[in-house]
Amino acid sequence: MSDTSTSEYKPRFVFEVTEEQRVRANSCFPTYGLRKAVFGKILDDVCDLIESHGGLALGILMSEKVKPREVLPSLAQVESYKKGKTKKNGG
């Protein structure tokens, strides 16, 4: 086992992809820096959705009936409605 300091540690998130996904990703994101920037943002957004909407967001994402790009505007409308409703009720 190598002796590395904590300052050198970089967490990784690893999961399987299909060969088609790998080829597409390599074409769309030719550099590691670009992959890290894009997928880091996607991970943050998905976690935000799940933290805000719990099982509902997870269920929608996993159902494969809608795509995230379709869900985000809908959730934004719900959030906007909730904020307007709270203001009207004196909240």
Residue 59's closest CA among 71, 48, 69, 43? 71
8 assigned to some structural domain:
no
Read off the pLDDT band of 21 (50, 70, 90): very high
Asked whether residue 9 carries a pLDDT value surpassing 80, the answer given is yes
What is the number of domains present in the chain?
1
For the stretch 31-84, pLDDT in tens is 999 999 999 998 998 898 889 888 888 888 888 777 767 766 766 776 676 677
3 token code pair? 């002796």
74 assigned to some structural domain:
yes
Range of the domain at 37: 15-88
**Whole-model pTM?**
0.62
Give Cβ neighbours of residue 43 (< 8 Å, ≥ 6 apart): 13
75 assigned to some structural domain:
yes
9 assigned to some structural domain:
no
